[in-house]
């Protein structure tokens, strides 16, 4: 619940920065007479609200916001859960805490990537993939339709939805790994032993009453 409350109001904050970056690189592909001549993604970020309107920075933001929401809710929730369940490894079995922490962070990041990256990839599928014969688009140029289609086809196509993952990891993932490590070091996960991080609370309807 804490992860959801933290990620929901902030998941769209990265959309303007991603749009400004895309606008900067896309501008270089246009004919010279049509270019905006952005000198950097930062300059594009400051110029676009005045030249195109503030809402332009949030265009096509659904897959980016959905990716951030799915990633961070999974990332924080699983890390809290794993820290709650594997505390005995460093407390009683004398494993170095940093080793246990690296295991917890790695597992949480892996699951969060599996949940979050496909939503990020939706934008590339809709915007950049070649259209079908006759210009028809399977998803009618809709990010939401593409996201729904991915859910329907995940049983035999899911691995394909991770295409380009390492590019995303270099741009964002490595920073996310470091940020969670630092957050734990600063004591932001000291409530990991609270009852709401336990299976008995999370899945109460599955616990047999005695």
| pLDDT tens for the 210 residues of the chain, in order | 777 888 889 888 889 998 998 899 989 888 888 888 898 999 999 999 998 888 888 888 889 999 999 999 999 989 988 888 888 888 888 889 999 999 999 999 999 999 999 999 998 888 888 888 877 888 888 999 999 999 898 888 888 899 999 999 998 999 999 999 999 998 888 766 666 666 566 665 655 554
In the chain, what is the straight-line distance between the N-terminal and C-terminal CA atoms, in Å? 27
Place of tokens 């790695």: 106
Q: What is the DSSP string of 46-67?
A: HHHHHHT-GGGGGTT-HHHHHH
| Burial (Cβ within 10 Å: 0-12, 13-18, ≥19) of residue 75 | buried
Model pTM? 0.81
Structure confidence at residue 71 (pLDDT): 94
Structure confidence at residue 130 (pLDDT): 83
Structure confidence at residue 210 (pLDDT): 47
């Amino acid at each position: 619940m804490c992860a959801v409350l933290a990620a929901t109001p902030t998941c769209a904050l990265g959309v303007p920065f991603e749009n400004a970056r895309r606008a900067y690189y896309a501008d270089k592909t246009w004919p010279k007479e049509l270019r905006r001549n952005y000198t950097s993604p930062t300059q594009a970020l400051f110029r676009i609200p005045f030249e195109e309107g503030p809402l332009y920075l949030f265009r096509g933001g659904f897959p980016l916001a959905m990716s951030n929401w799915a990633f961070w809710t999974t990332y924080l929730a699983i890390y809290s859960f794993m820290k709650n369940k594997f505390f005995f490894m460093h407390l009683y079995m004398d494993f170095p805490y940093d080793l246990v922490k690296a295991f917890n962070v790695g597992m949480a990041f892996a699951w969060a990537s599996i949940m979050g990256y496909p939503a990020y990839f939706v934008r590339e599928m809709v915007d950049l993939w070649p259209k079908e014969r006759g210009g028809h688009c399977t998803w009618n140029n809709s990010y939401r339709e593409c996201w729904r289609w991915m859910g329907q086809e995940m049983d035999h196509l899911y691995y394909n939805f991770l295409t380009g993952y390492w590019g995303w990891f270099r741009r964002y993932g490595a920073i996310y790994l470091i940020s969670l490590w630092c957050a734990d070091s600063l004591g932001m996960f000291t409530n990991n032993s609270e009852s709401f991080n336990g299976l008995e609370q999370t899945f109460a309807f599955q616990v047999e009453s005695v």
